[in-house]
Amino acid sequence: MRASFVQLISALGHFFTSRIDRLGLAARFAGALLVSLSIALGRLPLMFREVYFSGVRSLSIVAVSGLFVGMVLAVQGYEVLQRYGSAESLGVIVALSLVRELGPVVTALLFAGRASSAVTAEIGLMRATEQLAAMDMMAVDPMSRVVAPRFLAAIFSMPFLAAIFSTTGVIGAWIIGVKLIGIDDGAFWSQMQANVDVRIDVLNGLLKSIVFGTAVGLISVFEGYFAAPTAEGIATATTRTVVISSLSVLLLDLLLTVMMFRGLS
């Protein structure tokens, strides 16, 4: 009885120390990454190549998802709003939901699944096949040549993708609300414009997506860099990237929302 209690306590201890170990590792990794950023920023073509693989290749899924999310929001929103006789507010509801929350958050989740998991697998495989070691032996720092460009590409791509998601979302809501349901076109846009603030809503939304891009980018390169050099290790690392990125995005979103929008309307 006592033995099992001790076991439980030490298992609990192990659970936390191993996680804190990993956090420490991540912090040291982030520090090294930060140092290598200056070199990577001097070679932007390397980053743009990764923007192609991460950002451009995610464009279609983000745009289509945005359109559908906007349409669903419009159908659901209209259902509730017309009970209170304020169906013209549909544009406001949809636009604020998209610009403040769904745009940055859903884009980051899609990005984690579409692009970051691939980055983790790629870096993990490069490590397993000694490509990073070979680079290091050729006196080329893999941190600034391989890791940093992929990290920067996530930060760079995310705000554009979030803006595209929100835009197609608003267009989707407009198609449902104005074209299919028949809400007045003028009221739809004017209510939206009267209630969406560029600085508070749009800029904060983009700021969120930059923070998410940083988090998702860091997690994906970290998990790839420290993936065990086996098939199973890379599979585990890829899963971890998606799970940890998604949870981090949602947690960060809560913190940022409280900081940005508390005390407003």
Nearer to another protein, 220 or 248 (CB): 220
Q: How far is the CB of 44 from another protein (least distance, A)?
A: 10
Q: Please identify, using beta-carbon distances, which residue of 167 and 214 lies nearer to another protein.
A: 167
Q: Shortest gap between Cβ of 202 and another protein (angstroms)?
A: 5
Minimum distance, C-beta of residue 86 to another protein, in the bound complex (Å): 7
Of residues 246, 261, 223, 224, the one with CA closest to residue 107 = 246
Q: Give, in order, the Cα–Cα distances in Å from 153 to each of 6, 28, 68, 107, 180.
A: 47, 21, 26, 15, 39
- The smaller minimum CB distance to another protein, of residues 82 and 86, is found at 86
As given in the structure block, the two tokens for residue 118 are: 């691939």
In angstroms, the Cα distances linking 176 to 64, 73, 84, 93, 170 are: 15, 9, 19, 14, 10
Q: Cα–Cα distance between 168 and 179 in angstroms, integer?
A: 15
| Minimum CB–partner distance for residue 148 and another protein (Å) | 15
Closer residue to another protein (CB): 130 or 184? 130
Distance from C-alpha of 70 to C-alpha of 179, rounded to nearest angstrom: 14
Nearer to another protein, 7 or 193 (CB): 193
The 3-state DSSP class for residue 42 equals coil
Q: Give least dist CB 213 to another protein, A.
A: 12
Nearer to another protein, 149 or 248 (CB): 149
Q: Residues interacting with another protein, by CB under 8 A?
A: 45, 48-49, 51-52, 55-56, 59, 84-86, 95, 99, 125-126, 129-131, 133-141, 145, 157, 159-161, 163-164, 166-167, 170, 189, 192-194, 196-202, 206, 264-265
CB of 120 to another protein, least distance (A): 15
CA 236, 242, 244, 245: dihedral to nearest 10 degrees?
150
